[in-house]
Structure 1
Amino acid sequence: MIFGGFNAIVEEGSERGGYTDGFVVPVPEGKREAYRELAAKMAKVFREHGANRVVEAIADDVPHGEVTDFYRAVKAEDGETVVFSFIEWPDKQSRDEAWAKIMQDDTMKPEDPMPFSGQRMFWGGFEPILDNDLAKASASA
């Protein structure tokens, strides 16, 4: 298990989604603001393409583990911190359609140089395993 506490540096939207993209990326300490600016720009693009919510959060209380941790997961180097982010979409189909459009948009080509190491970034798409409506109904029973 890997765990840690992160402070949101960008948050767009508030409605929960039914499908989530998550990613973790190493960011040099000296490029925090450049990363936040890029993240804010991208959050607006994701929202314009149908994302319900975008959260970018930087390490605050992230321990170094004995076996694995967020730092090892991205092979963080000295002077780097970790950003944990997620995008909530209405559903997987909406997410897939949005990413297809985003990847074809020439204005979305990566900046040079990027304020993070994309080679050590990892990501994935996740289906919910907890139905919030069901959880609320159980709690009120």
Structure 2
Amino acid sequence: MSYVTGFLTPVKTEDKERYIASAQKSWPLFQKYGALEQIECWGEDIPPGKVTGFDLAVKLEPGEVVVFAWLKWPDRATADACWQQMEADPAFADMDMPFDGKRMMWGGFAPVFEGK
């Protein structure tokens, strides 16, 4: 079954085009390592959290937007291999990362249902 790596990160509103360009540049690299799909979503309706929420999870600051993204892989082994290999790939080292990586979160998920 497929595998998903999910990401949540704050990005400055003024860096939207820069973020999109970075995502577009990263797609061929992820695809080279076996990714089936890359989805990048710019937050539009993010209600303020009281106990928890997307804004609180990334410690959103004024002038920032929450970005929610994921990569779909054929399986976990392919995703794990990508993360190991990308550390040595100079193409990844040259990527523009227009966000605060310290407040980014990510994780791997095994789908339990896929509706299509």
TM-score, scaled relative to structure 2: 0.91
* Partner Cα separation in structure 2 for residue 120 and residue 110 of structure 1: 21
Q: How far does residue 111 in structure 1 lie from its aligned partner after superposition?
A: 4.7
Higher relative contact order (CA 8 A, sep 6+): 2
Q: How far does residue 65 in structure 1 lie from its aligned partner after superposition?
A: 2.1
Opposite residue 75 of structure 2, the aligned amino acid is D
Give 5+ residue unaligned stretches, structure 2: none
Aligned to 1:127: 110
In the alignment, does 2:35 pair up with 1:46? no
> Which runs of 4 or more aligned residues in structure 1 lie more than 6 Å from their structure 2 counterparts after TM superposition?
none
Aligned to 1:117: 100
Equivalences, count: 116
Rg larger for: 1
> Residue 87 of structure 2 aligns to a residue in which SS?
helix
CA spacing shift, 1:110–1:71, aligned 2, 3 Å: farther
Which of 65, 70, 81 aligns to 2:54? It is: 70
Q: Percent identity?
A: 41
Give 5+ residue unaligned stretches, structure 1: 1-16, 137-141
Which of 82, 86, 91 aligns to 2:66? It is: 82
RMSD: 1.8
> Residue 76 of structure 1 aligns to a residue in which SS?
coil
TM-score, scaled relative to structure 1: 0.76
Q: Deviations over 1:39-74 (max 9, x none)?
A: 111122111211010001010111112211111100
Aligned to 2:84: 100
